[in-house]
Amino acid sequence: MREITYREAVREAMCEEMRRDENVFLMGEDVGVYGGGFGVSAGMLEEFGPERVRETPISEAAFVGAGVGAAITGMRPIIDLMFSDFMAVCYDQIINQAAKMHFMFAGKVSVPLVIRGAAGGGTGAAAQHSQSLEQMYCHVPGLKVVVPSTPYDAKGLLKTAIRDDNPVIFLEQKKLYNQKGPVPEEEYLLPLGKADKKREGRDVTLITYGRMVPACLAAADKLAGEGIEAEVLDLRSLSPLDRPAIMASVQKTHRAVVVHEAVEFAGFGGEIVSVIMDSEAFYQLKAPVKRVGGLYCPVPFNANLERETFPTPERIEAAVREIL
């Protein structure tokens, strides 16, 4: 099977859906001539033209609001928010408008909208451009939240998100853009709300998503050398959340470590822990559930300090050894 980058997989998903459905269009800052802040939409302007690859002013409140309006009138916009941190500028449009309209109009209005944003750190983009804010979206009823970790997942999940009649927050962790992986040339879709087991194990479950999937796999490889077999469960979709997959894996391994790049305090990992504690899996635990998350501080610009902010394979390994 051919291998392409995460960036190319996202582009392919958008292009295929735009060819399939004339109501799908892309809009955002620098998505046309420049090809997007991270080069994801390079070449799309030449194929689809300025009506369907729409350059916007530097006003997230304006173009996200326009996207909501376009969605409720029959279009299927893909909004490129560039950095997911910019959600703070258009929070009202996402939280109070897009997420609520289907409910407030008794199901007579749908909002088939995808908001893509580059999330996470590791690129020296500093405090205002390196955050992982997925837990803020997950807290809002009416939004779906997806965080793919591989090119294969990114393409299949984005195509599904574009066809979904609900607003979907699609977070692309920017350190993954250059990662290569196998992606079929034929069309495929992946369901939202279905986790993927990236590695089988028997001793502990590492529950994670996004950029921390490669970190957990690296930790699992190291632990395997010590005779510890860690299972790596990639959630892929946070809302809807695959609770049965979490419970089944923990019931098999009897131990769990939850890992995410976002700040550990009040992060999404707490929700995962509660799923375990409120289920039959709790009675199968042989040790407390551990969390490994980002430090409770703004993301530093300095490369050495930034590196210390996020979970590393070594920190993950240490958490596993602690509960073993």
Superfamily of segment(s) 3-182:
Thiamin diphosphate (ThDP)-binding fold, Pyr/PP domains (3.40.50.970)
**Domain 196-323, CATH class in plain words:** alpha beta
Return d(Cα 116, Cα 228) in angstroms, integer: 37
Residue range(s) in the chain whose domain bears CATH number 3.40.50.970: 3-182
**Other Cβ atoms within 10 Å of 224 Cβ, number:** 14
The amino acid occupying position 147 is V
Return d(Cα 223, Cα 41) in angstroms, integer: 39
Residue among 102, 129, 231, 261 flagged as catalytic: 129
Return d(Cα 33, Cα 44) in angstroms, integer: 9
Return d(Cα 54, Cα 48) in angstroms, integer: 10
Active-site residue flag, 186: no
Return d(Cα 303, Cα 12) in angstroms, integer: 32
Closest CA to 48 of 14, 74, 76: 14
Return the pLDDT at 1: 87
Residue range(s) in the chain whose domain bears CATH number 3.40.50.920: 196-323
Return the pLDDT at 277: 96
Return d(Cα 133, Cα 137) in angstroms, integer: 7
Strands (E), the chain: 3-5, 24-28, 53-55, 76-83, 114-119, 144-146, 168-173, 180-182, 196-199, 204-208, 230-234, 237-239, 256-263, 290-294
299: DSSP letter: P
The three-state DSSP-derived secondary structure of 208-268 is ECCCHHHHHHHHHHHHHCCCCCEEEEECCEEECCCHHHHHHHHHHHCCEEEEEEEECCCCC
Strand-strand pairing, 180-182 and 3-5: antiparallel
Q: Would you give per-residue pLDDT tens digits along the chain (324 residues)?
A: 899 999 999 999 999 999 999 999 999 999 999 999 999 999 999 999 999 999 999 999 999 999 999 999 999 999 999 999 999 999 999 999 999 999 999 999 999 999 999 999 999 999 999 999 999 999 999 999 999 999 999 999 999 999 999 999 999 999 999 999 999 999 999 999 999 999 999 999 999 999 999 999 999 999 999 999 999 999 999 999 999 999 999 999 999 999 999 999 999 999 999 999 999 999 999 999 999 999 999 999 999 999 999 999 999 999 999 999
Return the pLDDT at 202: 98
Residue among 60, 172, 261, 317 flagged as catalytic: 60
Where does 73-150 have alpha helices with state H? Answer: 91, 101-104, 134-138
Chain centroid to CA 303: 23
Active-site residue flag, 129: yes
129 CB-side CA count, 13 A: 13
Tokens for 65?
């609001």
Tokens for 66?
């326009």
